[in-house]
Chain A
Amino acid sequence: MTCLPEKTDKKLGLLIDLNICVGCHACAVNCKEWNTSGITGPMEDLKPYGDDPSGVWYNRIHSYEFKKPNEADRTVYFPKSCLHCEDAPCVTVCPTGASLKRSEDGIVLVNPDVCIGCKLCSWACPYGAREYDTSGGVMQKCTLCVDKIYDETIPEDRRVPSCVSTCPAGARHFGDFADPNSNVSKLAAENDARDLFPEMETKPINQYLPPKKREQHKSRSLEHKVSNVKDALLKWATLDFTG
């Protein structure tokens, strides 16, 4: 049903720390690994070794260079997947009910047995979270590894999305944003967590921690620099390199 739930019991989502992410793409690779044989797989992978490979990925790792006057440039690696928005526009536009937001945990899913492949949901999403499977004729997206996080045959501490369990840097956190005492809620509250594209009024669940602000380096005084140069010259003049 494409009516959004008034309230979800949980708000499961990811907290991604841009200060830690090193842009290694391991999360995207493990996502594909798990989900291609998961409930919404296979994930299309056409001509993987050809000139023009194409396919579906639920997670893409962008990178950006930020330039600000009087500051050194900084590079930010930016993993982007479905944000499981509270006001998900992709769900309400769906004409068939294939797109849905679960009332129990807030996960946004596509039912591949009902999807007609009209692609309107991908037009409605401002984040580019949905990709079309040309072979299956249906839309695909991040499931938050719904077939992993509830699997009781997996040890409890490993019941997290694949992108989280594989991140070698520990930049990705998974938890319930509806619970103020959860790991993600605490991290978000302590660290100036950001919504992507707040103007779109989608109320994304996933949050991003911004890169750390740089400490201002105290510029060394001219006097200090002059004494350094003088010391070096004296060393050459006296050919005394012992000090």
Chain B
Amino acid sequence: MHPALSVIIFTTVSGMGYGLFIWLTANILLGTPLADDDVVIGSVMAFILVATGLVSSTVHLGHPERAWRAFSQWRTSWLSREGIMSIFCFGPMVFIAGQYYFDLGFENFVNLVAVLGLISSVLTIYTTSMIYASLKAIPAWHNNWVILGYQIYALSSGGVAYIVVAGWQHHMIVVYLLIAALIVKIATWINIDRHRGQYTRESALGLTDFGKATPFEPAHSQKNYLQREMGYELAPGRRAIMRWFALGCGFIIPALLLYIGLPAASLILLICFVGMMAERWLFFAEAEHVVRLYYDKDTV
């Protein structure tokens, strides 16, 4: 799939935002002593990350002014469900930031709203992952690793953001999460590599009993929308480089720096963010759509 920058930024940034908010609400519920200012900054930062992601996601729309229509088809569409959940999440974020900043006198409701915020953030990440995992035509996405991955990458990158906001009191948990995320990512790639080639051109054509099919004359002289959008071919050699870069910056280096306690949390967050962008770029660039069987791929 063509790795569109707007969608890469959207999923990376909003995932980090929801992860951060999950960390924040979990700590409120666990009674971790938090400075009021840190809670406000954390909620606002989560809000800004999620909002940036949403705005970025509308960039690739043909009609951004009609985006509101996307809230209507929640009965069947994961994209619609995600839109509704993401807007819902702004409620707890605004409430918690407002309560801690203006001291509105709703202390009794903070825990209830924190529970709502935590659950809705997890659900939003789930709806995002299901947009991809529900697409049978893209085998690299149509599996449970994608669902697990989106949750854990949000929690690990959001955990690093939490350290920037609220300090180092739980940094070892973030280290463990980064290691778990690393394992999930490697398992995801093993799964992708193992299942490559399960669909054939002959099956796509419905002609499995006539021998091996190869394209003869191209159907059109120039690349069409399908090839531009879904025909992305990862250059040989670049896969390994990008995988190591994503693992290093996204998980290994942040985990090591947190473990040794480098007093520069913002730098660690930046490295983690760059790594997650690379991870998400690969998520698209490596995913082969079965429509390529009608064009350049013998198997997908």
Contact = CB atoms under 8 A, between A and B. Distances in A.
Interface in A169-222: 194-201, 208, 210-211
A64 B207 CA distance: 11
Interface of B: 1, 60-64, 66-67, 69-73, 75-80, 83, 131, 134-138, 199, 201, 203-207, 209-217, 219-226, 229-230, 289-291, 294
Interface of A: 1-4, 18, 23, 52-54, 56-57, 60-69, 71, 74-76, 78, 80, 89, 91-98, 114-120, 122-128, 131-134, 136-139, 194-201, 208, 210-211
Nearest to A90: B137
B211 A126 contact: no
A93 B134 contact: yes
B211 to A, nearest CB: 3
B77 A2 contact: yes
B138 A123 contact: yes
A171 to B, nearest CB: 15
Contact of A64 (B1, B71, B205): B205
A2 B78 CA distance: 12
B209 to A, nearest CB: 8
10 contacts: A61-B219, A76-B207, A118-B61, A125-B137, A125-B291, A126-B136, A126-B137, A128-B294, A194-B207, A208-B206
A210 B213 CA distance: 13
Contacts of B134: 93
A103 B230 CA distance: 30
Given A126-B137, A196-B205, 8 more contacts: A4-B76, A76-B213, A89-B137, A126-B204, A128-B226, A132-B62, A138-B62, A194-B207
A116 B63 contact: yes
B63 A117 contact: yes
CB-CB nearest 4 A-B residue pairs: A117-B62, A137-B62, A68-B211, A194-B206
A67 B216 CA distance: 12
Contacts of B230: 122-123, 128
A123 B137 contact: yes
A147 to B, nearest CB: 23
A159 B159 CA distance: 63
Contacts of B137: 89, 123-126, 200
A122 B1 CA distance: 11
Which of B69, B71, B73, B212 has most A Cβ within 10 Å?
A: B73
Contact of A54 (B61, B80, B215, B222): B222
A22 to B, nearest CB: 12
Which among B205, B225, B226 has the greatest number of chain A C-beta atoms within 10 A? Answer: B225
A23 B78 CA distance: 39
Nearest to A137: B62
Nearest to B214: A65
A195 B63 CA distance: 35
A98 B203 CA distance: 30
A56 B220 CA distance: 11
Contacts of A89: 135-137
A54 B222 CA distance: 7
From A64, A80, A93, A199, name the one whose CB has the most chain B CB atoms within 10 angstroms. A64
